[in-house]
Amino acid sequence: MADYAIRRCTREDAETIASLGARLFVQAYGPTHPEPDRSAYLAKAYSVEVIAEAIEGEGSSVLVVEDSHAAPIAYAHMSATMEVPPGVDGRRAFEIVRFYVDSAYQGRGIGAKLMNHCCDVARQAGGDVIWLQTWSQASWAIGFYLRIGFRIVGKKPFYFGQRIDEDHVMARAL
């Protein structure tokens, strides 16, 4: 991880993170989440305005991992949550809203370092549990989250156009 840096995003990063987020979503889910719904989803979920709101939002943090040339290669969006799905136990919960690592950089420990950084940020803000939802068919993501201490605690729908996928809710005590 010596050749990579994790930092908190500022408003000036919104366009970069919007572009990175859309690219990494397509990289991870493009074959299973096709057009025309994909473009509509990306326009809504990864607009510069939506990303800027995430960066500047109360209780929200967007973190980016940059390589030695300051090129973004991974990012996470996390937020304090008042309402949590059933199965997530804690007094002060944080949700990992988005978490992606460019496939060219996977397997190098970057995802684990980024998640540990997210957990540290949540802990420093008084969090005692961190949770996320991931597609129940994404075995690569589920395996990663299980390896770093998350466990499946429930299910939640994910709306993609007219399609409704079933996501796992996963949580990890802090």
- What are 29-55's pLDDT values in tens digits? 988 898 999 999 999 999 999 999 999
Domain regions of the chain by residue span: 5-173
Q: How confident is the model over 102-114, as a mean pLDDT?
A: 96
For 5-173, which CATH superfamily applies?
A: Gcn5-related N-acetyltransferase (GNAT) (3.40.630.30)
pLDDT of residue 59: 94
Could you tell me the pLDDT band of residue 158, with boundaries at 50, 70 and 90? very high
Q: Has residue 128 got a pLDDT over 70?
A: yes
Could you tell me the pLDDT band of residue 1, with boundaries at 50, 70 and 90? low
Q: Could you tell me which residues come within 8 angstroms of residue 150 by beta carbon, excluding any fewer than 6 positions away?
A: 132, 170, 171, 172
Give 3-state DSSP helix, strand, coil % of the chain, rounded to 5.
35, 35, 30
pLDDT of residue 2: 66
Q: Has residue 27 got a pLDDT over 90?
A: yes
**Per the confidence metrics, is the pTM higher than 0.75?**
yes
What average pLDDT is seen over the chain? 95
Q: How confident is the model over 158-164, as a mean pLDDT?
A: 88
Strands 93-101 and 151-160: unpaired
